Amino acid sequence: MSLLEVRDLKVRRGGVPALRGVTFEVDRREVVALLGANGAGKTTTLRAISDLSRPESGEIRFDGRSIVGASSTRVVEAGIAHVPEGSRIWPEMTVAENLRLGAYAVRRKGSPAERLDAVFRLLPRLAERAGQLAGTLSGGERQMAAIGRALMASPKLLLMDEPSLGLSPRVVDTVFDTIQEIRRDGVAVLLVEQNVVRALEIAERAYVLEGGRIVRQGSGEELLDDPEVRQAYLGRTAGAGSPGAGD
C-alpha cells in the first residue's frame, strides 16, 4: 500500500477545470516530482491534498485512509505537511515562533522541544537565527525556515511547492541537499519544481502534468532521457545537466 494514493482527482478553480482526473501515488521514503508548465495543475494538486482547495471528485488516501474533505488541521495531524510556494513564513514573528506554529496541529505527537532539536540538527542555520524576526532572513534562510516549520509537524509526507524558486544557484544546492536528508530521515517528499533537471536527479519517480492530466510518468532517469520531456523542458540540446527552462 502506498503512503499517498490519488485517484481520478478533479478540481475546479473559479469554475474552470484545473485537474481533469489525476491519478498518482507516493510510496514511503520516496521523493516524487510533479512536473509541468505553469497552469498545468501542480500547485492545485498539492492544495487539494492539504485541503486548501476542495476537490470536485476523486479520492485521496493517505496511510490507507481517505482524507478528502478533512480539514487542513486534520491533514497535518495525519502526517502531511505543506511548504507553500514562496515560503510564506510570518515575517513579523521570530524564527522560533514560526517553527512553533508548524507544530500547532500536532500537540499529541511527542514533545515540541525534541522536534525542535531535530529540526535544528537538520537546519543548523535556523538555530543561530532562532530569536531573530523571520522577515530579516535571506531568501534561502526563509525557505529553510518554511521547511523547518513543516518538519515541526513530524510529517510522513512533505509537500514542497517550488522550493528553489528565486534562490541563487548555491542556495538551490543547499535546498536539494536538505531534501535528500529529509528523505534519509524517512520522510516522503512530493516535489513541485521548475528546476526540472535537479528535480529528476533526486526523484525516484516523476509525473508530468499537462492541462490538468498526467501525460507521462516514470523513474527520474527515464524521464531525464525521454526525448519529449527533453524537448519540452530542456530544449533540444542533448547535453544533460543544464538547468531547464522552467516552464
Partner 1 sequence: MSSFTRRHLLLGVGALGGLALIAPLLLANPYSSRLAQLLFMNILLASAWNLVGGFAGQISFGNASLFGVGAYATSMLWLAGFHPFLTMPVAALLAALYGVAWGWPCLRLRGPYFAIATIGVAEATRIVANHIEAAGGASGLTLPLEQDLGPVLLYALGAVLAVAAVLVSAAVRRSRLGLGLIALREDAQAAAASGVNVARQQVTVFAVTAALTGLAGGYYAVFTLYIVPEKVFGFDLSISLVLMVLVGGIGTVMGPVLGAGIYLFLEQFVLASLADIHLAAFGALLIFIILLEPRGAAPRVAQFVRLIRRRFG
- Both ends of the chain: CA-CA distance in Å? 33
* H-helix or E-strand spanning residue 103: none
What whole-number distance in Å separates Cα of residue 146 and Cα of residue 128? 16
Would you call 38 helix, strand, or coil by DSSP? coil
Of 18-26, 76-84, 163-171, 201-209, which part binds partner 1 (CB under 8 A)? 76-84
Backbone angles phi, psi at 12, to 5 degrees: -105, 140
For position 76 contacting partner 1 by CB under 8 A, the verdict is yes
Residues 3-42, mask of contacts with partner 1 (x by CB under 8 A): ----------------------------------------
For position 198 contacting partner 1 by CB under 8 A, the verdict is no
For position 92 contacting partner 1 by CB under 8 A, the verdict is yes
Owner of C-alpha cell 505543506: 82
What whole-number distance in Å separates Cα of residue 130 and Cα of residue 145? 10
Residues 35-74, mask of contacts with partner 1 (x by CB under 8 A): ---------------xxx------------------xxx-
| Interface pick for partner 1 out of 8, 54, 66, 104 (rule CB under 8 A) | 104
- What cell numbers appear for 152 in the block? 515541526
Shortest Å, Cβ 112 to partner 1: 10
For position 88 contacting partner 1 by CB under 8 A, the verdict is yes
- What cell numbers appear for 147 in the block? 521547511
Residue among 41 and 102 whose Cβ is closer to partner 1: 102
What whole-number distance in Å separates Cα of residue 121 and Cα of residue 157? 19
Site residues (vs partner 1, CB under 8 A) = 50-52, 71-73, 75-77, 81-84, 88-93, 97, 100-102, 104-106, 149-150, 153
